[in-house]
Amino acid sequence: DAGITQSPRHKVTETGTPVTLRCHQTENHRYMYWYRQDPGHGLRLIHYSYGVKDTDKGEVSDGYSVSRSKTEDFLLTLESATSSQTSVYFCATGPPGPDTQYFGPGTRLTVL
Amino acid sequence: GIQVEQSPPDLILQEGANSTLRCNFSDSVNNLQWFHQNPWGQLINLFYIPSGTKQNGRLSATTVATERYSLLYISSSQTTDSGVYFCAVVAGTASKLTFGTGTRLQVTL
């Protein structure tokens, strides 16, 4: 939907290693979001961006950082991955308020 | 923050049956969306419906904002309707969606 791609789509890594996930959009949406999805929790917001270099925390931001140097790219970094960060990560774009959000295909991350 | 509750958590239907999924929220909202997550994990927008009623084929949705709930109706269900249905809202001046925990639907032959 809405020209959103995520990379990688699957990743297995070891505890303590840094990991960066990339979200790329072609719709020139101002807002971009990173969510994680875990059984029993639905989707929870990690961080979001409301413009280039403008970011804010969501409800589960500990252990994650983000960067947005271009409108089309939003990076999520796990500085030192832990097993509790094993999850499926979704990127989304679109404005808040009276409009819809569009989701990327997701990245399945496993931290051993 | 706002609480979003969905019911039932699980639902099994035979093909051709109708169903109603419910979403209750604890505060006033200016954005409510329904999503379908298919068995391959893709999240697909179904409706943007902060109030009123909308229909799209066999699916329709109604939100009664004053009573803080929304309903998703699925008629003549098909196996391709299987998956998880999420309700998500934006409350007041917030700038982010809050998701419910979803209703898992399985449609059998």
pLDDT of B26? 95
The domain defined by B4-108 carries CATH number 3.30.365.10: no
Is residue B69 over pLDDT 90?
yes
Q: Domain count of chain A?
A: 1
Q: What pLDDT, on the 0 to 100 scale, is given for residue A97?
A: 54
The answer to whether B38 touches B44, Cβ cutoff 8 Å, is: yes
The position carrying tokens 């809202």 is B89
Q: pLDDT tens digits for B43-62? A: 998 999 999 999 999 999 99
Give the per-residue SS3 of A52-72: CCEEEECCCCCCEEEEEEECC
**Higher-confidence position of B90 and A5:** A5
CATH number of A66's domain: 2.60.40.10
User: Searching chain B, which residue's CA lies closest to the CA of residue A33?
Assistant: B96
The nearest CA of chain A is from the CA of B48 a distance in Å of 6
Read off the DSSP letter of residue A83.
Answer: G
A97-110 per-position pLDDT tens digit: 556 788 999 999 99
Distance in Å, alpha carbon of A102 to nearest chain B alpha carbon: 7
Q: Is B63 exposed, middle or buried (0-12, 13-18, 19+ CB in 10 A)?
A: buried
Is A39 an interface residue toward B (CB < 8 Å)?
no
Q: Across all residues in chain B, what is the average pLDDT?
A: 94
Distance from CA of A7 to the nearest CA of B (A): 15
Domain of A40, in residue numbers? 4-111
For chain B, give the percent of residues with pLDDT over 70.
97
Whole-Å CA distances, B72 to A3, A12, A39, B19, B54: 27, 37, 22, 8, 10
List pLDDT tens digits, range B2-44: 999 999 999 999 999 999 999 999 999 888 999 999 999 999 9
B42: nearest CA partner in chain A: A105
Stretches where chain A sits below pLDDT 50 are none
Domains of chain B by residue range: 4-108
